[in-house]
Amino acid sequence: DIVMTQSPDSLAVSLGERATINCKSSQSVLYSSNNKNYLAWYQHKPGQPPKLLIYWASTRESGVPDRFSGSGSATDFTLTISSLQAEDVAVYYCQQYYGTPYTFGQGTKLEIK
Amino acid sequence: QMQLVESGGGVLQPGGSLRLSCAASGFTFSANGMHWVRQAPGKGLEWVALIRYDGTNKYYADSVQGRFTISRDNSKNTLYLQMNSLRAEDTAVYYCAKDSSGYSPLDYWGQGTLVTVSS
């Protein structure tokens, strides 16, 4: 199974500042035949279902604000929120869909400093 | 408008069985892979199972393999999760979610249903 490891486990950032979350996979999730990274980022707020933010490592889902961006390739990925807003307080998860079982990172709890 | 509505959660004793349902609307259910994902109290998300659009291929997490069965009825736009030999560690909110096709992310999720396994 592919193990996804996020860092840090929690993060406190001031409003308007940048937040960066890292995700590392135990094996590459880059599919060479199409040069796509099978990596997604989700936002999960209490009492709500998770929401897809980013897929193919860097493609923003429709309706997601452009302050959210994803980068990285193969085994190392980053979710960046360029200017933190109050509504961004949530737990963020990376997930690989390169192969089954699909696996999530352990989550990163983002708070306001 | 797209909707996924889970039902069937409840409280039961270890060793018991339960079937969860997920009613889909607002999209072509028969064209999408469907997943179950769970979140135990105070824990992160755990992917549970996937069934391809036509029901021919099914995949499971190691933690539920042999105890849980995912299925779907495309004529009823409904996804199921049959859970047998339940354990305390299966206590969680269970979400159903759809993907777009093939190996793709989970692009829409239901609100979840709570399953509590306790003696």
Residues of chain A contacting B45 with CB distance shorter than 8 Å: 42, 44, 50, 93, 95, 104, 107
**How many A/B residue pairs have CB atoms within 8 Å?**
61
CA A21 to chain centre: 7
Choose among B95, B103, B108: nearest Cβ to A98: B103
The residue whose two tokens read 């306790």 is: B118
In chain B, count of helices (H) and strands (E)?
0, 11
**In this predicted structure, what is the pLDDT of residue A67?**
98
Whether B13 shows a pLDDT value over 90: the answer reads yes
Mean pLDDT score, A45-50: 96
**In this predicted structure, what is the pLDDT of residue B64?**
98
**In this predicted structure, what is the pLDDT of residue B113?**
98
**Sorting pLDDT into bands at 50, 70 and 90, what band is A80?**
very high
CA distances from A51 to A104, B18, B36 (A): 14, 27, 15
Q: How much of chain B, in percent, has pLDDT values that exceed 70?
A: 100
**In this predicted structure, what is the pLDDT of residue A28?**
98
Q: Does B27 touch chain A (CB under 8 A)?
A: no
CA distances from B6 to B18, B24, B95 (A): 13, 9, 7
Average pLDDT, chain A: 98
CA A24 to chain centre: 10
Q: How much of chain A, in percent, has pLDDT values that exceed 90?
A: 100
Q: Taking CB atoms and an 8 Å limit, are A101 and B60 in contact across chains?
A: yes
Distance from CA of A17 to the nearest CA of B (A): 26
φ, ψ of residue B30 in degrees (nearest 5): -70, -5
Q: How much of chain B, in percent, has pLDDT values that exceed 90?
A: 97
- Which residues lie below 8 Å from residue A94, measured CB to CB, with a gap of 6+? A4, A6, A21, A23, A39, A40, A41, A42, A77, A79, A104, A105
Whether A64 shows a pLDDT value over 90: the answer reads yes
Mean pLDDT score, A65-91: 98
Question: How confident is the model over B41-85, as pLDDT tens digits?
Answer: 999 999 999 999 999 999 999 999 999 999 999 999 999 999 999
Whether B102 shows a pLDDT value over 90: the answer reads no
Whether B101 shows a pLDDT value over 90: the answer reads no
CA distances from B75 to A6, A54, B15, B72, B81 (A): 40, 32, 31, 9, 17
Q: Does B61 touch chain A (CB under 8 A)?
A: yes
- Which residues lie below 8 Å from residue A106, measured CB to CB, with a gap of 6+? A4, A5, A6, A9, B44
**In this predicted structure, what is the pLDDT of residue B100?**
86
Strands A90-96 and A30-31: unpaired
Distance from CA of B112 to the nearest CA of A (A): 7
Q: Whats the size of chain B, residue-wise? A: 119
Mean pLDDT score, A3-23: 98
Q: Taking CB atoms and an 8 Å limit, are B106 and A93 in contact across chains?
A: no
Q: What is the 3-state secondary structure (H, E, C) of B5-49?
A: EEECCEEECCCCCEEEEEEEECCCHHHCCEEEEEECCCCCEEEEE
